[in-house]
Amino acid sequence: MRVKALKAAFPLTVPICMGFLFLGASYGMLMGTKGFSFVWPMCMSAFIFAGSMEFVTVNLLLSAFNPLAAFLLALMVNARHLFYGLSMLSKFKGLGWKRPYLIYGMCDETFAINSSARIPQDVDRGWFYLWVTLFNQSYWVVGATVGGLIGSHLQFNTEGLEFVLTALFLVIFLDQWLGGKHHERLSAVIGVLASLICLVIFGADDFMIPALVAMLVLFMALRPYLDTLKPETQTETDDTVINHTEAHQQ
Amino acid sequence: MTMTIWQGVITVAVVAFGTILTRFLPFIVFPESKEPPRVIDYLGSVLPYAMTGLLVVYALRNTPILTGSHGIPELIACAVIVLLHWWKRNMLLSIASGTIVYMLLVQLVF
């Protein structure tokens, strides 16, 4: 059961392996060049395991000690996880001891695979999700640790290396855009415009929460339009209800 | 690092806790035994696209438009990523090329 799920899961994580080793190493090297021991990126990549937040935390560690601000920033930067969770509520049902780890390890890329994968009938769903999550986290921790080990001994100019994160977000955005339909692109446009307008009004340090609120308001206002354009969501919900009823009958 | 080791450890622990909270909260609010409201399904279907858009803006939020380089290195690097990704659709290639172009621009040109 485990081996079969592993064979189904591993190939899907190979692109993420390359991406995470590269990005994780960039992050580890960044910390190394700022004077941190490799233990810092190793522990942070394992315990925080949220790429963007780890980059942000490097700056937090280099400024004045303020745990409350750090906590609030973590909530704000990671507020998107709330919506990953909402999307996986039904898929993670009934997975027992694996469930807490699946939730803990749900980074952007793991969510992307686990939420979209067509798992074959004869493959165990729980083990499939578990392998994807575990592989992806391992790549990231190994990359960050190796990067941290190299970083402090590296003699090349790393100015601009931080841009790797901007590049990652832009590429994920482009992937969604190119693979998306009309209403999905409209959702993306709403996200960009709400963020840009809030950035201009509130400034770089305070725009995240107003932008999230603005998006929620816009999506609720546009629900009649965006929701009716998504018949597949309706079907999905119906399926879930049916599965749920079946589960009850069993 | 300007902090002491323990202040650093506390900062990392607090950030980890905040991150864990954002991941677990939906599952705590809507436990396995309950069916979430329809509106939650709707938001779950549209928000991921908007969130990535927000992250792109977030990553570029400190770009100096009116001073210094006027954001030209960011603009060129982003253009390289868009064109390359449109053409090849290779995540790693797009990310690596864009980053290298940006690093060359800020180190050698601007």
CB–CB contact B3 A61 (8 Å) = yes
The range of the structural domain enclosing residue B18 comes to 1-32
CB–CB contact B26 A92 (8 Å) = no
Length of chain B: 110
Cβ atoms within 10 Å, residue B56: 23
pLDDT (0 to 100) of residue B34:
78
Number of A:B CB contacts under 8 A?
277
User: Among residues B44, B46, B78, which one has the least CA distance to residue B59?
Assistant: B78
pLDDT (0 to 100) of residue A151:
75
Residue ranges per domain, chain A? 2-157
CB–CB contact A18 B45 (8 Å) = no
CB–CB contact A170 B56 (8 Å) = yes
pTM of the model: 0.69
Distance from CA of A93 to the nearest CA of B (A): 6
Q: Which residue of A has its CA nearest to B89?
A: A175
Number of domains chain B contains: 3
CB–CB contact A174 B85 (8 Å) = yes
pLDDT (0 to 100) of residue A1:
83
* Single-letter amino acid code for the residue at A164: V
Phi, psi (degrees; rounded to nearest 5) at A65: -65, 120
Q: Which residue of A has its CA nearest to B44?
A: A87
How confident is the prediction along chain A (250 residues), in pLDDT tens digits per residue? 889 999 999 988 877 787 788 889 889 988 988 889 999 999 999 999 998 789 889 988 998 898 998 998 898 778 878 878 887 887 898 999 999 999 999 998 888 778 767 788 899 999 999 999 999 999 999 999 999 998 767 666 767 877 877 887 898 889 889 888 888 899 999 999 999 999 999 998 778 778 888 998 999 999 988 885 445 444 444 444 444 444 444 3
pLDDT of B15 higher than 90: yes
pLDDT (0 to 100) of residue A234:
45
Q: Coil, helix or strand for B73? A: helix
Q: Which among B23, B53, B106 is the nearest to A191, CB-wise?
A: B53
For A126-130, A169-173, B12-16, B32-36, which range has the lowest pLDDT when averaged over its residues?
A: B32-36
Cβ atoms within 10 Å, residue A49: 24
pLDDT (0 to 100) of residue A5:
95
Q: How far apart are CA A220 and CA B82, in angstroms?
A: 31
Contact between B24 and A92 (Cβ < 8 Å): no
One domain, residues B72 and B94: yes
CB–CB contact B89 A185 (8 Å) = no
pLDDT (0 to 100) of residue A221:
94
A212 to chain B: which residues are within 8 Å by CB?
Answer: 54
pLDDT (0 to 100) of residue A119:
87
User: Among residues A19, A75, A145, which one has the least CA distance to residue B15?
Assistant: A75
One domain, residues B9 and B44: no
B40 to chain A: which residues are within 8 Å by CB?
Answer: 86, 89
Residue with the bigger pLDDT between A197 and B42: it is A197
Q: Which among A82, A226, A236 is the nearest to B25, CB-wise?
A: A82
pLDDT (0 to 100) of residue A205:
76
Residue with the bigger pLDDT between B67 and B105: it is B105
Q: What is the pLDDT of residues B44-103, one digit of tens each?
A: 778 778 878 887 898 899 898 888 889 999 999 999 999 999 999 887 789 889 999 999
Distance from CA of B67 to the nearest CA of A (A): 15
pLDDT (0 to 100) of residue A229:
46
pLDDT (0 to 100) of residue A105:
96
Half-sphere exposure for B106 (CA within 13 Å, toward CB): 21
pLDDT (0 to 100) of residue A228:
56
Distance from CA of B61 to the nearest CA of A (A): 5
